[in-house]
Amino acid sequence: MSQDAHPPAPARRRDSAATRAAILKAARETFTQRGYDGAGLREIANAAGADTRLIGRYFGSKEGLFAEVVDLAYEKSMMMTPEHNAEAARTLLTGEGGAQADGLLLTLRSASNPRAAAIMRDSIERNYQRRLADALPGTDTTGRSAVLIAICAGVLLNRLLLGHTALNGPDTERLIPYLHAALDAVAKVPQSAGGEK
């Protein structure tokens, strides 16, 4: 790492930390938009105003860069606890996919690559899912949080990636109660242990 002196910090024209951050930001945007395979290192470097070779220098490889991006993208993600499910359902069906959905969007577009999938699985289980499981009531919060994440990912996939017509019309709001109920069915503690009619 760079040994930036604590007191002075004289705005150097050659700032490795700044270029590293610029690359990371550009990589996050490009990966989220094009997916792991679809994003080229030259495209990322160009968007960051940096040289392609610097990516290899600072992040080792494309996978290394991707891993850092994934961890970053899942820092702030939507919660699907009973008290947040109304908002989550609305965001999933009508939201533009801001920072709360960036992680899932990145995952959807990169899931086809096995290496990228392994990286994302690790990050999700280590960060996002753990956070969600801790906020969930009841038992088996780990498994239920996985199902909740899956549902959200599926909705985003159909709406934003596939552009499903039924999920992109101006009256998509009418589906919010259904999705809300589906999320609650997993997030809330079961009312009756066995089953229902």
Where do contacts with a copy of itself occur on this chain (CB under 8 A)? Answer: 34-35, 37-38, 107-113, 117-118, 120-121, 124-125, 129, 140, 142-147, 149-155, 157-159, 161-167, 172, 174-175, 177-179, 181-186, 190, 195-196
Q: Quick one: tokens of 134?
A: 């801790």
Which listed range, 6-14, 89-97, 126-134, 156-164, lies at the site for DNA (CB under 7 A)? 6-14
Which listed range, 10-18, 79-87, 93-101, 104-112, lies at the site for DNA (CB under 7 A)? 10-18
Burial class (CB in 10 A: 0-12, 13-18, 19+), 195: exposed
SS percent in the chain: helix, strand, coil, step 5? 70, 0, 30
* Interface with DNA in residues 13-52 (CB under 7 A): 13-16, 18-19, 39-43, 50-52
Using CB distances below 5 to 8 A depending on partner kind, what does residue 19 bind out of DNA, a copy of itself, none? Answer: DNA
- Residue 129 CB, nearest approach to DNA (Å): 27
Q: Which is nearer to a copy of itself, 19 or 123 (CB)?
A: 123
Number of shown-chain residues binding DNA (CB under 7 A)? 26
Cα separation of 28 and 127, whole Å? 17
Give the largest CA-CA distance in the chain: 70
Using CB distances below 5 to 8 A depending on partner kind, what does residue 13 bind out of DNA, a copy of itself, none? Answer: DNA
Residue spans of beta strands (DSSP E) within 49-183: none
Q: Which residues contact 122 (CB under 8 A, 6 or more apart)?
A: none
Q: Which is nearer to a copy of itself, 99 or 162 (CB)?
A: 162
Q: Which is nearer to DNA, 62 or 159 (CB)?
A: 62
Question: Per-residue b/e over 90-106, b at no fewer than 16 CB within 10 Å?
Answer: ebbbebeeeebbbbbbb
